[in-house]
Amino acid sequence: VLGGLFVLGRYRRHIEILPKGLLSPLGGILMIPVGAALLLVSTPPVMYDVLHYHLAFPEQWLMAGGFVEFARESFSYYFSAHGILFTFALSTVGPWGANAISWWMAGVAIIAAATLGNRLGGSSAAPWAAACYALTPATLEIIGYANADHAVAAWAGAALVALTDQIDRIPTTRMMVLAGFLGGTAAASKYLALATVLIPLAAAALLTLRAFQSGRRVRAAVLLMALVAGTAVPLAPWIARNVTWTGNPVYPYFISVFGGPPSDMNVDMEIKRNIDLPASTAGRTFASAGALVLRTFNPRGEGGLLGPHWLFLLPVAAMVTGLRPRLRGPLWTAALIGFLCWGFLVQYARFLLPALVPAAALAGTVPPALGRKVSALTRGAFTFLLFAVFAWNASMLLSNLNIDRLATVAGILNEKDYRFRWIGAAPATDFISDNLPSNARILMVGEARSFGLKRQVIVEDPYRVPLLVELAEAATSAEDLSRNLHHLGVTHILVNEPEMKRFAGIRRVDDYWTPASDQSRRLIHSFLETRVTRIFDLGDLWVASLKAPPSAQDTDPGQKTS
């Protein structure tokens, strides 16, 4: 709402929704894959992170009427400004509305790239800038999924659009506050954006103001304070929430600095997952600078693909002349510092999307510039090459998952079969949501995806020693373990044995129950065999109700304890 008021106050007479050049035959052709992706937003969410926390926690907030702290789920402490938007969708039209919001956020990032490209190289650069961002495989792979990455990129791109609104004049205080507000909202959606968005934005702002430095240092200081003040507004509620819960504004990270409950998640662990990074600081910096090249050919895990177009467009963009210098410098600064921050942290391609917005504006100036300086034959060959690369990138939409999504939209595949095919735990979660009483409380064992249960849950992130192990270490019998679970209000358990192997892999231990002693393992086995009654059973996926121990006969099954 505050962001909208800023914009309306600034553009009372005219709002430029789309930049010149984007609404052109070329722009229309290049945006076909983005439009095609819109057909898929009505399908149920199946992406792991969406079911784990992007939609799962907003669903729990709506049930509780406020934020819910899951002490054993570190992801519940993540900033989630985009999750607030998703609550509006979940409380009105359902999950497909959250998918549509994410699709629209991708559209905002595309428009931001086109706007910056238009300002930098003219209307002929706008459609190419839009295409460079939109037809990046990582963009298309997650477009229409209710997650954070497109929201972060949209707000980061919008912040740069606000910062460079009048690039030939010193920015106004109002626009600096707005730029900070938008950048802060990006960071309020993802911890990583504190580095990949705010640091590049601050550097771009410094470079923008430096161009007007002569005799205006006080004015520049005031504008920088306005940027910081705008950034603080959307971040403050999330920081206050985490400080209230744990004393640490960015829990579960930097516990050694800010304190907070013990957690196995930390920044060092995230960095070490970049197994290609050398141990020394200098080596890491050098390797981080080359991460764009490395992850183009050797992408990390399920983080998406970058596509080869960046590797030949950006070097050529550095040599393009005739661009607005006061805009070119801030955009290169934002892109390069964004690349470096991303390369030093978590090198998933989709986490680079915020930096790809200014990079797309720069890359988009290359085709028009070459068109003016080379022969028609060379221009045609280059255009063919670029279209071939974009076509290969767009083929990411033809995944088995998206084919099933399209079949679901067309009615060829029903939604239940679609979900059961792509969500291993779906049969059990459907059973819980359809059959268990509303006051049931579920302990998730080997499963973190709680979206759709619509019940109170005790859910654990994959990095934590399981609750059953901790309780078993302190218990003397299966009855004692059962009694402790009743004291926590647990009425049922969901067990997903295939996922246990993946959880163990994430913690890099031998099996899910590590570090339980032999005695604790026997106690857990006895509990699962004698103290629960299976009410849904597919062999390695099952749901059970807890048998009430004698001392817990009068326990309220819906009680919540912290």
Q: Where are the alpha helices (DSSP H) in 122-197?
A: 126-134, 137-142, 149-163, 173-187, 193-196
Helix (H) or strand (E) holding 543: strand 541-546
Class for domain 425-552, per CATH? alpha beta
* Structure-token pair, residue 75: 């992801």
Closest CA to 481 of 495, 464, 466, 499: 466
pLDDT band, very low/low/confident/very high, at 556 (cuts 50, 70, 90): very low
Residue 463's pLDDT band, with cuts at 50, 70 and 90, is confident
Q: What are phi and psi of 195, to 5 degrees?
A: -95, -45
The predicted-structure confidence for 319-343, as pLDDT tens digits, reads as follows: 988 888 889 999 999 999 999 999 9
Which uninterrupted H or E stretch holds 535? strand 532-537
pLDDT at 16 over 90: no
- Beta pairing class for 492-496 and 456-458: unpaired
Residue scoring higher pLDDT (137 or 562)? 137
pLDDT digits 0-9 by tens, 134-191 = 999 999 999 989 999 999 999 999 999 999 988 888 888 989 999 999 999 999 999 9
Q: What is the mean pLDDT of residues 260-275?
A: 76
3-state helix, strand, coil in the chain (%, to 5): 60, 5, 35
Confirm if 347 and 291 have CB atoms less than 8 A apart.
Answer: yes
What pLDDT is recorded for position 13?
54
Taking Cα atoms as reference points, which of 197, 191, 199 lies closest to residue 156? 197
pLDDT tens, residue by residue, 281-301:
777 777 788 889 989 998 887
Domain ranges of the chain: 2-38+46-398, 425-552
Residues in a beta bridge with 537: 542
For residues 164 and 328, the answer to whether their CB atoms sit within 8 Å is no
Sheet holding 541-546, edge to edge: 456-458, 441-445, 492-496, 541-546, 532-537
Spatial neighbors of 539 by CB under 8 A, at least 6 apart, are: none
Give, for 533, the enclosing helix (H) or strand (E).
strand 532-537
Would the pLDDT of 97 be above 70? yes
Instruction: Report how far residue 347's alpha carbon sits from residue 195's, in angstroms, rounded to the nearest whole number.
Output: 13
Does the pLDDT value for residue 397 go beyond 50? yes
pLDDT of residue 275: 62
What average pLDDT does the chain have?
90
**Per-residue pLDDT reduced to its tens digit, 41-53:** 999 999 999 999 9
Say what percent of the chain tops pLDDT 70. Answer: 92
Does the pLDDT at position 15 exceed 60?
no
User: What's residue 201's pLDDT?
Assistant: 97
pLDDT at position 558, please? 42
Q: Residue 555: what pLDDT? A: 43
Residue 7 burial (C-beta neighbours within 10 Å; 0-12, 13-18, 19+): middle
pTM equals: 0.91
Round the CA-based radius of gyration of the chain to a whole number and report it. Answer: 25
> Tell me, what's the pLDDT at 220?
86
- pLDDT-derived band at 105 (thresholds 50, 70, 90) equals very high
Higher pLDDT, 367 or 214: 367
pLDDT tens track for 482-499: 999 999 999 999 999 999
Q: Which two tokens stand for residue 318?
A: 């550095």
- DSSP for 319-359, please give it: T--SS-HHHHHHHHHHHHHHHHHHHHS---GGGGHHHHHHH
**Nearest to 310, CA basis, from 122, 137, 108:** 137
Candidates 54, 187, 34; CA nearest to 108 is 34
> Residue 554: what pLDDT?
47
Q: What are the helix and strand counts (H, E) for the chain? A: 30, 5
pLDDT tens-digit series, residues 517-553: 999 999 999 999 999 999 999 999 999 999 987 654 4
Task: Kindly report which listed range (13-22, 248-257, 385-394) carries the lowest average pLDDT score.
Answer: 13-22
- Mean pLDDT for the stretch of residues 545-562: 57
The rounded distance, in Å, linking the Cα atoms of 44 and 415 is 7
For 405, how many CA atoms within 13 A lie in the half-sphere containing its CB?
Answer: 24
pLDDT band at 481 (very low <50, low <70, confident <90, very high): very high
Can you tell me whether residue 464 is helix, strand or coil? coil
